[in-house]
Amino acid sequence: MAVDELRARYLRDRVMTATPVQRVVMVYDRLGLDLTLAEGTSDLAELGGHLSHALEILAELRASLDVSAGGPAPNLADIYSFATRELLAARGGQPERIAPVRAIVAQLREAWAQAAEQISTVAAQPAAGGTSAGAWVG
């Protein structure tokens, strides 16, 4: 098997076996990568490609929110809208506007990673009284 095929298989398996919150972390990882690559290039076509992909990710993240449910969803929607405006400005000739978005994305990614860690820690702990969680399912 070629290296590219092995890499694709690994990534597919990693996504398929991840929990939903781990998948969100992966999405933020990719968004952060796009922003880092965009900041590191002076080639306008390459910059546009990375920013376009980042904007697609932001659109998907925004579309996945249920703002009517309350909680953090309305705040996240505002953050995604801000990030979208900033990246559109960056694509329009103001690349210095990428760095603040990258910083926000890094903070959000870290928060989701901590949530994923807490969830996996709780899931790994035995239920109170030494019984398994399955004993409570009727």
Residue 98 lies in a domain: yes
Residue 12 lies in a domain: no
Q: What is the pLDDT of residue 137?
A: 46
DSSP result, the chain: --HHHHHHHHHHHHHHHS-HHHHHHHHHHHHHHHHHHHHT---HHHHHHHHHHHHHHHHHHHHT--GGG-TTHHHHHHHHHHHHHHHHHHHTT-GGGHHHHHHHHHHHHHHHHHHHHHHHHHHHSPPGGG--GGGG--
pLDDT tens digits for range 2-41:
877 776 675 666 666 678 888 999 999 999 999 999 999 9
Residue 115 lies in a domain: no
Residue 37 lies in a domain: yes
> For residue 1, what pLDDT band results from cuts at 50, 70 and 90?
confident
Rg (Cα) of the chain, in Å, rounded?
19
Which CATH number does the domain housing residue 70 bear?
1.20.120.340
Residue 131 lies in a domain: no
* 98 or 10, greater pLDDT: 98
Tell me the HSE value of 8 on the side-chain side, using a 13 A CA sphere.
5
In whole angstroms, give the CA distance from residue 68 to residue 43.
Answer: 41
> For residue 134, what pLDDT band results from cuts at 50, 70 and 90?
very low
The two three-digit tokens of residue 97, written as one number: 């506007």
Q: For the whole model, what pTM was predicted?
A: 0.79
Residue 136 lies in a domain: no
pLDDT tens digits for range 36-77:
999 999 999 999 999 999 999 999 999 999 999 989 999 999
The two three-digit tokens of residue 73, written as one number: 């969803």
Residue 123 lies in a domain: no
Nearest one of 41, 77, 42, 38 to 54, comparing CA atoms = 38
Range of the domain at 26: 18-110
Residue 113 has pLDDT above 90, yes or no: yes
Number of domains in the chain: 1
In whole angstroms, give the CA distance from residue 21 to residue 18.
Answer: 8
Residue 11 lies in a domain: no
